[in-house]
């Protein structure tokens, strides 16, 4: 029996780098870059196809990330973030066939760039208070929503968690556990929407061996980088993601 995988060489030319970038982002180093994966793959396939193909890859990356940082997450913060993220997933599932993926990309990209502009123009003081919980709830619901539509949940939740000034390891571990729950919750609605077909899943299996490579590289970097440099890469990733998503949405 042969599996009907995608055979287009151009698809793999853009998808293999996208999966590697996603793996590095999943490990915490350059978090934010991962939101570029679907837009990169969308050069060769539709956004829903790209999102579906990445589902098994994301699951493996999430498990590897949790294993690497299993003792470092912030449990109190997760108890707040996860319910909000699941609300966003439910909204995304209900609106998936109504909303245009390019519109969502433009909104996420624009919001990301506004957040970065605010951080650069009005940098927080060392003793500044963390963002209010109500804002965190809105941003985390938005993260769940954009994660469901286009696996672009990083920028909204980063806008809330970055100002909390977690250490690089705690930030990475907390995001790994958060997105494991969020991504796991997508499987049933994705199946009901008909996205998890044999062709997409077989193609995903071909890409799975690449996932651990990206995660391994990112884990090694995240454990060796200073907090200042870590957040500089984080901002750089969010900037490139914001520009790419806004361009895709408006184009």
Q: Give the separation between CA 238 and CA 235, rounded to whole angstroms.
A: 5
Query: pLDDT tens digit string along 34-73?
Result: 667 777 787 788 777 888 898 998 888 888 878 877 888 8
pLDDT at 1: 45
Q: Give the separation between CA 215 and CA 68, rounded to whole angstroms.
A: 9
Sign for the pseudo-dihedral over CA of 136, 28, 93, 79: negative
Question: In the chain, what's the furthest Cα-to-Cα distance?
Answer: 63
Query: pLDDT tens digit string along 114-150?
Result: 777 766 776 666 667 778 999 999 999 999 988 887 7
Q: Residue 211 pLDDT > 70, yes or no? A: yes
Sign for the pseudo-dihedral over CA of 153, 91, 243, 15: positive
pLDDT at 158: 82
Average pLDDT over residues 200-214: 88
Q: Give the separation between CA 181 and CA 122, rounded to whole angstroms.
A: 33
pTM of the complete model: 0.76
Q: What is the DSSP letter of 99?
A: S
Q: Is 51 helix (H, G, I), strand (E, B) or coil?
A: helix
């Amino acid at each position: 029996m042969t599996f009907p995988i995608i055979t287009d060489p151009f698809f793999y030319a853009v998808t293999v780098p996208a999966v590697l970038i996603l793996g590095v982002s999943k490990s915490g180093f350059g978090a934010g870059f991962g939101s570029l994966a679907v837009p990169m793959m969308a050069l060769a396939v539709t956004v829903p196809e790209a999102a579906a193909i990445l589902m098994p890859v994301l699951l493996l990356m999430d498990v590897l990330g949790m294993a690497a940082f299993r003792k470092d997450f912030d449990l109190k913060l997760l108890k707040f973030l996860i319910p909000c993220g699941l609300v966003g997933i439910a909204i995304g599932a209900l609106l998936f066939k109504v909303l245009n993926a390019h519109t969502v990309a433009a909104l996420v990209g624009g919001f990301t760039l506004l957040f970065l502009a605010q951080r650069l123009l009005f940098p927080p003081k060392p003793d500044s208070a963390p963002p209010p919980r109500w804002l965190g709830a809105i941003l985390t619901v938005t993260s769940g929503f954009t994660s469901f539509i286009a696996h672009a949940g990083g920028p909204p939740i980063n806008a809330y968690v970055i100002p909390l000034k977690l250490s690089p390891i705690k930030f990475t571990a907390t995001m790994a556990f958060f997105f494991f729950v969020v991504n796991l919750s997508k499987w049933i609605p994705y199946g009901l929407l008909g996205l998890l077909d044999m062709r997409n899943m077989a193609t995903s299996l071909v890409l799975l061996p690449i996932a651990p490579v990206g995660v391994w590289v990112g884990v090694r970097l995240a454990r060796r980088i200073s907090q200042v440099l870590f957040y500089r890469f984080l901002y750089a990733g969010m900037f490139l993601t914001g520009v790419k998503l806004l361009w895709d949405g408006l184009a």
